[in-house]
Amino acid sequence: MIFMFFFVEDVYLSDVPGVEVSVWVENLEIPWSLVFLPDGRALVSERPGRIRIIENGKLLPEPYMKIDVKHIGEGGLMGLAVHPNFPKEPFIYAMHTYETKDGKIFNRVIRIRDKGKYGIFDKVIIDSIPGAKFHNGGRIKFGPDGMLYITTGDIFRGELAQNLKSLNGKILRLTPDGGIPKDNPFPNSPIYSYGHRNPQGLAWYPNTKDLFSSEHGPSGEYGWSGHDEINIIYKGRNYGWPRVIGKAGKKEYEDPFIFWKETTPPAGMTFYKENLFVATLASQALIRIKIKKLKNGYEILRIERWFAFDKTRGKFGRLRDVVEGPDGNLYILTSNRDGRGIPKPGDDKIYKITIKKID
Under 8 Å CB-to-CB from 227, ≥6 apart: which residues? 217, 218, 245, 246, 259, 260, 261
**31 within domain boundaries:** yes
Residue closest to 316 by CA, chosen among 340, 276, 355, 283:
283
Section 5-13 average pLDDT: 74
**281 within domain boundaries:** yes
Residue 5 has pLDDT above 60, yes or no: no
The proportion of the chain whose per-residue pLDDT surpasses 90, expressed as a percent, equals 91
**36 within domain boundaries:** yes
Alpha-carbon distance of 156 to 164, in angstroms, equals 17
Residue closest to 69 by CA, chosen among 145, 153, 126, 131:
131
Q: What is the CATH number of the domain that holds 90?
A: 2.120.10.30
pLDDT of residue 4: 44
- The strands making up 211-215's β-sheet, listed across from edge to edge, are 199-204, 211-215, 228-233, 258-260
Residue 123 has pLDDT above 70, yes or no: yes
**2 within domain boundaries:** no
Q: Report residue 224's pLDDT band, with 50, 70 and 90 as the boundaries.
A: confident
Alpha-carbon distance of 336 to 347, in angstroms, equals 7
The upper half-sphere exposure of residue 52, i.e. CA atoms within 13 Å in the direction of its Cβ, equals: 23
Q: Report residue 7's pLDDT band, with 50, 70 and 90 as the boundaries.
A: low
- At 185, which amino acid appears? P
Q: What is the pTM assigned to this prediction?
A: 0.96
Alpha-carbon distance of 202 to 299, in angstroms, equals 19
Report CA Rg, the chain.
Answer: 19
pLDDT of residue 209: 95
Q: Report residue 8's pLDDT band, with 50, 70 and 90 as the boundaries.
A: low
Q: Report residue 74's pLDDT band, with 50, 70 and 90 as the boundaries.
A: very high
pLDDT of residue 184: 98
Preceding amide of 242 cis, omega within 30: yes
pLDDT digits (tens, 9 = 90+) for 275-293: 999 999 999 999 999 999 9
Kindly report which listed range (81-85, 125-129, 215-219) carries the lowest average pLDDT score.
215-219
**74 within domain boundaries:** yes
CB 267, CB 214: distance < 8 Å: yes
Active site residues: 135
pLDDT of residue 358: 85
pLDDT of residue 296: 87
Instruction: Tell me what percent of the chain is helix, strand and coil, each rounded to the nearest 5.
Output: 0, 45, 55
Residue closest to 321 by CA, chosen among 37, 4, 44:
44
Across the chain, mean pLDDT equals: 95
**323 within domain boundaries:** yes
**5 within domain boundaries:** no
Alpha-carbon distance of 347 to 324, in angstroms, equals 21
Q: Report residue 221's pLDDT band, with 50, 70 and 90 as the boundaries.
A: confident
Number of domains present in the structure of the chain = 1
Domain containing 253: what range? Answer: 10-355
Residue 223 has pLDDT above 90, yes or no: no
Residue 329 has pLDDT above 80, yes or no: yes
Alpha-carbon distance of 178 to 147, in angstroms, equals 9
DSSP string, 154-213: -TT-GGGGG-TT--SSEEEEE-TTSPPPTTSSSTT--EEEE--S-EEEEEE-TTT--EEE
Alpha-carbon distance of 71 to 20, in angstroms, equals 34
